[in-house]
Chain A
């Protein structure tokens, strides 16, 4: 009875007092889901933890050495052959673990992968994502406020900075990550060199950036706010400095920023390689100009970069 009362009180306190403040917050659907998941797991764990503590207190009082005539708890008859206790323990722990496994699986599926990278062919993609991403590779890509369109954003990792391309706005590239509120974002994460990891904590998106791979992660932005982007894969000397900041702004502010940047960067955008999900250094410099030594074709990530290969 003591265990039940304390557990209920602790769960209620956590749910109403701590839960709304649990990171990563509620800026996006995935952040909100992660906050709920963490809170829920704590609600499940608290009774277990309190059960251990209550039993510890019970044991201290019951089997105190100062008390006489108490059976020896360790090695005595009370410690052997209690089938009810064994069955109850195995049953309860199995149910809890299996339930949490199912809960976690449902949470991942319902939230389009829960902000995690799903690889190049995501199976939990939101409605409209496939169409938007197919359009991103052509000139037909567009996005406008209040259209419920998915916005593809490409994340390009390189030693040691993230840059971002917006295929729906002419494919310009920027060091800034600005997102519109109330929008489903499809992050397409890749790398130009070694393995990095795109981790936008407050919006709860985390996807590895692998060279020549497109790792897709989704989230639905809710309110406006600032967030931090960090590389979470040890990637070299300046790994610790590989971070920047992003913003979720109103849809009108986003369009204003995107169109202004598209115009300002137009001259350089013309020099960028055509928008693609991955970029492979080649001999013509069309997708980056660091070549493999000699005439090695196709590109091999294990080769050492070095001398310039003559254009074919």
Chain B
């Protein structure tokens, strides 16, 4: 190879290396938000309570991991179910949350999560009835929780009868077996607050905490609270 050819090769490899380094650094500094963000800040007049509707399903049914459990939320603007778990909310505002739980349950690994905590009045409703504690060793058990650890908020998502025909492809309509739970809480000041499920429901993975439990946009996400 001529001297010019060798120089061109070295220069080309050098530029590729520089490009990779720049790309790596840029990706590290600005990882971006996994998935999208559902914006609840403009769905109601400023200062008024936010209505947030979500569903939790035993298997998402589509995408790269159709067997994984997942939360979905209803976009307040379009009214469509969206598979995103980063929810943008106004600060210091009451959120009225409704969750449709389509998955079966079992006894909790830690019954502490059977207690409703951190919601308004430390209570929630299950199919219209108030409750503050659910004994997961009875009935259909608990399938999931909705918890915001930094706010000490936790609500058990009571399981449906596992013998019923369960919805296998999200979004699930209300014709499928489900429980409806409602509760309210107040958002704190601006910031990002992670929320997650505390039931190791990533079945098939070690300790149940792999798969959807360890992947953003399935059984955990963020409340992006803005002023």
Contact = CB atoms under 8 A, between A and B. Distances in A.
Interface of A: 156, 158-161, 163, 173, 175-176, 192-194, 236-238, 241-242, 244, 264-265, 267-268, 271-273, 281, 284-286, 288-291, 304-308
B107 A289 contact: yes
B106 A289 contact: yes
A147 to B, nearest CB: 28
Interface string B98-138: 00000000111111101101000010000000001101110
Contacts, number: 109
B3 interface: no
Contacts of A176: 152
B55 interface: no
A272 B111 contact: yes
Contacts of B152: 175-176, 244
Interface in B191-227: 194, 196, 198, 200, 203-209, 213-216, 220
B213 A237 contact: yes
B136 A161 contact: no
B208 A290 contact: yes
B86 to A, nearest CB: 14
A281 B117 CA distance: 24
A236 B198 contact: no
A193 B209 CA distance: 9
A87 to B, nearest CB: 51
A289 B135 contact: no
B111 A160 contact: no
A271 B135 contact: yes
A306 B106 contact: no
Interface of B: 106-112, 114-115, 117, 122, 132-133, 135-137, 141, 147, 149-150, 152, 154, 194, 196, 198, 200, 203-209, 213-216, 220
6 contacts: A156-B112, A159-B213, A236-B209, A268-B133, A288-B110, A291-B106
Given A163-B112, A290-B208, A237 B216 contact: yes
A241 B216 contact: no
A158 to B, nearest CB: 6
B135, B205, B209, B215: most-surrounded residue (chain A CB, <10 A)? B209
A156 B108 CA distance: 14
Given A271-B137, A285-B106, 14 more contacts: A156-B112, A160-B149, A161-B149, A193-B209, A237-B214, A237-B215, A241-B150, A264-B122, A268-B111, A268-B114, A285-B136, A286-B137, A290-B106, A306-B204
Contacts of A244: 149-150, 152
B109, B114, B132: most-surrounded residue (chain A CB, <10 A)? B109
B133 A267 contact: yes
B141 A272 contact: no
Contact of A289 (B137, B194, B196, B216): B137
Contacts of B137: 271, 284-286, 289
B221 to A, nearest CB: 11
A268 B112 contact: yes
Contact of B133 (A271, A306, A307): A271
Contacts of A264: 122
Contacts of A158: 109-110, 198
Given A159-B209, A193-B207, A290 B200 contact: yes
B209 A285 contact: no
A241 B115 CA distance: 21
A171 to B, nearest CB: 11
Contacts of B122: 264
Contacts of A304: 204-206
Given A156-B110, A267-B133, A288-B108, A161 B198 contact: yes
A236 B200 CA distance: 12
Contacts of B203: 305-307
Nearest to A161: B149
Contact of A194 (B132, B136, B207): B207
Nearest to B216: A237
Given A241-B149, A241-B150, A308 B106 contact: yes
B111 A193 contact: no
Nearest to B132: A267
A309 to B, nearest CB: 10
